Amino acid sequence: STGKTRNASAFSWGKRLQIAIEAAQGLEYLHKGCKPPLIHRDVKTANILLSEQLEAKIADFGLSKAIQNDVTNVPTAVVGTPGYLDPDYYISGQLSEKSDVYGFGVILLELITAEPPILIGRQNAHIVQRVRERLANGNIEDVVDSKLQGEYDVNSVWKVADIAFRCTAQASHQRPTMTEVVAELKESLALECPRDTMGNSNIYAETNEASQNTAIEMERFVEFSPSAR
């Protein structure tokens, strides 16, 4: 993140959900709409770009792999980015679309917390473990990005956290499909929509300042601290 434009962590919760839905639909298309199906293999915030209209697009298909004859769980060389890499895939070498689902679950936790996937020097370094630990007392406010200043529907955030945890289940067969993820994210947005439409906030029209560039990396949702670099 260069820090030259407005940090995207200032986006409303509703706008973050809209971005998540569009990114999820992109992955769903790769898995279900492409013939043969494609597995991205490097799902991370830096590979989700925003247009001037703040529409999310999946980018960088350099590591993507086509699955012939709809056969999944195929042995392949393990590639990906630390923090987003599916542990099941890393251990077994068996690739499936659920590896993309895992990476997307990590992104959802980033959208909630505005924290990077891995914090060096922390006992629970990975975001999945960190968020689980902080949610043990049942208080979602303990993990939500402070820049949201409480402006979000609690049930909507809890639902997204639940989706994220299911996406990042250790065993790949326990994870939902991207089609299921899209449907549940839309339900989460429906819970939040009344809040966004009551005031001046609009999930489809954020400030002009936020859309100065034609492509803004989703990576800017995360303010990397020195310990995270």
Q: Which residue has the higher pLDDT, 100 or 78?
A: 100
| Cα 47 from Cα 128, distance rounded (Å) | 20
For residue 152, give the nearest of 204, 105, 201, 205 by alpha carbon.
201
Question: Helix or strand or coil: residue 65?
Answer: strand
The average pLDDT across 212-217 equals 41
Q: Does the structure show a pLDDT above 80 at 70? A: no
Burial class (CB in 10 A: 0-12, 13-18, 19+), 214: exposed
CATH for the 8-228 domain, from 1.10.510.10, 3.30.1370.60, 3.10.20.30, 1.20.58.100? 1.10.510.10
pLDDT at position 3: 31
pLDDT at position 196: 57
Q: Does the structure show a pLDDT above 80 at 200? A: no
User: Which residues have a catalytic role annotated?
Assistant: 42
- Strand 56-58 to 65-66 pairing: unpaired
- What is the percentage of the chain residues whose pLDDT exceeds 90? 59
Domain ranges of the chain: 8-228
Q: Does the structure show a pLDDT above 50 at 201? A: no
Under 8 Å between Cβ of 56 and 19 = yes
Under 8 Å between Cβ of 8 and 17 = no
The average pLDDT across 38-57 equals 91
> Quick one: pLDDT band at residue 49, thresholds 50, 70, 90?
very high
Burial class (CB in 10 A: 0-12, 13-18, 19+), 118: middle
> Quick one: pLDDT band at residue 195, thresholds 50, 70, 90?
low
pTM of the model: 0.81
Indicate the range of 51-65, 87-101, 132-146 predicted with least confidence.
51-65
- Residue 58: in which H helix or E strand, if any? strand 56-58
Q: Does the structure show a pLDDT above 90 at 54? A: no
pLDDT at position 85: 94
The average pLDDT across 174-202 equals 82
| Mean pLDDT rounded to a whole number for the chain | 82
Q: Does the structure show a pLDDT above 60 at 219? A: no
The average pLDDT across 36-57 equals 91
Q: Does the structure show a pLDDT above 70 at 27? A: yes
For 126, residues 6+ apart whose C-beta sits below 8 A from its C-beta are 83, 117, 118
